[in-house]
Every structure is written in structure tokens, then in C-alpha cells.
Structure 1
Amino acid sequence: MTQPDAQPILLLLVASLGNSLGGILTYLMGWWISRRWSVPEPHKRNQQRALVVIKRFGVITLLFSWLPLIGDPLCLVAGWLRCRLWLSVLLIIMGKTLRYLLIVLAIH
């Protein structure tokens, strides 16, 4: 049996891991969708513009991937725009872990 002090850490690790894997899977779904379906010609310029914005400060928005309603779309769009995989994964993990760290600190 685990000690009571170890339970919040275990909760943090398990919740962060599960939620991070979900965000990473959503990113990969966006990447897969972008490989299967091309953007219609009239929207190519808009995609390039969105990519410039994402490259400027958009990938950092993945720190907010823990937010309800907008977190998963952020991960999907980052994958669809093919943001750098490892940076995206790192930011998703950091955002999701921060959420559960704050919850554990608030409860404990």
C-alpha cells in the first residue's frame, strides 16, 4: 500500500499522462487529416497566413491545451498545421501537467 503523501503525486502522474496522451493523439489526428485532404485552392493563402501566426506565437498556445472546449481544437489545429512535433508534445505535456499540479496543490 502506498503512503498517503505519495497518493497526490501518483494522481498527478496518472492524470497528466492520460490527458497528455489524449492531446498528443488529437495532434496526430490533425496531422493525419492534413496529409489526407488538401486545403482548397482559395484557402491556401489563409493557411499560409495561419501558419505564420502559429509559428510566431501559436505553438505556445498549446500550453492552454488543458482548457475545456478549446484545448482539443488547439491540439488538432497544431497537428493540421504541422507544427513541430516534439515542441508540440512538450507544450501539451507541460500544459496538462500544470493543470493537475494546481488541482493537487489546491486539494493538498
Structure 2
Amino acid sequence: MEGYFGLFSAAFIAATLLPFYSELALVGLLAAGYDAWPLWFWATAGNTLGAVVNYVLGRWLMHWQDRPWFPFKRSQIGPAERWYARWGIWSLLLAWLPVGGDALTFIAGLMRAPFWLFCVLTAAGKGGRYAVVLALYALGSGPLGLEPATQ
């Protein structure tokens, strides 16, 4: 159970604005013999909940936009608003991208995306990414199994 909690934690941290790669933890646990589907579930859950933190931060920060210590100028927020207005909430399906994906979840909060749709789209994108990692691991260890690689 510690492995699953560790993966959940790694995926959670990786989804925040902090730099971290949970795929390394996922592959390490696969190689150690952990079951793939619980790993997929806990990685997806942790990464999605970490994205919720970004969403909440984006939504909360706008309450303070008139304060001198606010980290963004209105001129910096404008381009993000225009980008989001152009591509919309469906761009959250790309929240899994290693570069810019976490910022999408922050912008979704900033732009007050509907929370339920945010969660569904973000979980779909992030779950898809972990499914691809599992599939790539499976290809490296046999056509049907997710057994640990042997040398």
C-alpha cells in the first residue's frame, strides 16, 4: 500500500506548479511488480487532485488582483484570457502535457471554468497519459502482460 500512496503523492505533486515527474515513480513501481490498474487509478487520482489545487489557486488569486503584491499584472493575464477564450475548456484534455499542462489547469480556475467539467476533462487527459505509459511499459515487457522486465 505504501507504493500506491507514494505514487499518489508523486502524481499530486507533479500536477501542481512544482516540477516533478510521476511517470518515473509509476514505471519504478511497475518494475517492482505492482499491479498496473491500481497504479493507473492512484496516479490518475493524485494527478487530477493536484490539478484541482491549481484550479483553486487560479480561482482564488483573482480575489487579490488589485493588491500591490499580486504576482501578475493585468497585462499578463489578458493574453491568457484571450487564449482560453479561443481554445476553451476542451484544452484541458491537454493538461497532461509536461510543458504548459499544469498552467492550463491554473488558467481554467482563473477563467472560472465549470468545476465538474474541469474535473472530467482533466481526469480524462491525465488518465490517458498514464494509460499510454502503462501501454509502453507493456510493449517493453511482453505483448499482453505488465510483468516486470527481466534481463
Q: If the length of structure 2 is used for normalisation, what is the TM-score?
A: 0.57
Distance 1:61 1:93 in 2: 13
Query: 1:31-86: per-residue Cα shift (whole Å, max 9, x none)?
Result: 0011222597x75xx47x62xx6356321111111111201111111100111111
Q: Which runs of 5+ in 2 are unaligned?
A: 1-29, 67-71, 139-151
Task: Give aligned pairs, total.
Answer: 99
Match of 2:6 in 1: none
Match of 1:35 in 2: 63
Higher helix share: 1
Distance 2:42 2:116 in 1: 21
Does residue 75 (structure 1) correspond to residue 113 (structure 2)? The answer is: no
How much is the aligned-residue C-alpha RMSD, in angstroms?
Answer: 2.6
One-letter amino acid of the structure 1 residue matched with residue 43 of structure 2: A
Greater relative CO, 1 or 2 (CA 8 Å, sep 6+):
1
Q: Is the Cα contact below 8 Å between 2:84 and 2:107 reproduced in 1?
A: no
Match of 1:12 in 2: 40
Distance 1:14 1:26 in 2: 19
Distance 1:95 1:55 in 2: 20
Give 4+ residue runs of structure 1 displaced > 4 Å after superposition: none
Match of 2:115 in 1: 85
Q: If the length of structure 1 is used for normalisation, what is the TM-score?
A: 0.77
Aligned to 1:62, what secondary structure does the other structure show?
A: helix
Bigger Rg over Cα: 2
Does residue 57 (structure 1) correspond to residue 87 (structure 2)? The answer is: yes
One-letter amino acid of the structure 1 residue matched with residue 56 of structure 2: L
Q: Which runs of 5+ in 1 are unaligned?
A: none
